[in-house]
Amino acid sequence: MAILPILIHPDPRLKTVCEPVPDMSDELRTLADDMLLTMYDAPGIGLAAPQIGVLQRVIVMDCVKEEGAEPKPVAMFNPEVTASSDITNVYEEGCLSIPEQYAEVTRPKLVQVRWMDRDGKLQEQEFDGLWATCVQHEIDHLDGKLFIDYLKPLRRQMITRKMQKLKRERARKAL
Ligand SMILES: [Zn+2]
């Protein structure tokens, strides 16, 4: 297993609509394992394949936050929201591709999601609370959408400029 570098916004790969994965394979299981390792290392509660430059519809999550609680890693292949509630919820979201920037985003409070699991079986389940926010945020990544796309243009531009500066600084340090 490997910890992979996470792409930082702005990057054209983070704006791409990703391809569905074909049938389950060892390569896809390894990809999910590497993504989980990368997510836990960051640390974060969710990661989508385009964030590591793989333009396929794969996401991983673990929204268990309580200290000492059992981890609950979830890997989803070709996830899709099949139903969502009219009731909304506001969360202060962040993103591993937009480090140290947070903003309130309104999304449906409950979502029904269907996906293929690591054994190639179809699963369908309802998510609530932080899990619901996280799964919607990650599925957005597969459609080239970031949480800052929900913000007003001025705020989005400010964050993008900060990220461009961060990337320039990191590139200089790498020389
Ligand atoms: Zn994200």
For 87-153, give the DSSP string.
SEEEEEEEETTEEEEEEEEEEES-EEEEEE-TTS-EEEEEE-HHHHHHHHHHHHHHBT--GGGGS-H
Average pLDDT on 25-49 reads 97
Can 138 be counted among the known catalytic residues?
Answer: yes
Distance 47 CA to ligand 1 centre (A): 6
CA 155 to chain centre: 21
Which of the residues 80, 93, 124, 138 is marked catalytic?
138
Looking up tokens 């979502």 gives 111
* pLDDT confidence bin for 67, thresholds 50/70/90: confident
Distance 162 CA to ligand 1 centre (A): 16
- List, for residues 75-132, the tens digit of each pLDDT value: 999 999 999 999 999 999 999 999 999 999 999 999 999 999 999 999 999 999 999 9
Average pLDDT on 125-147 reads 98
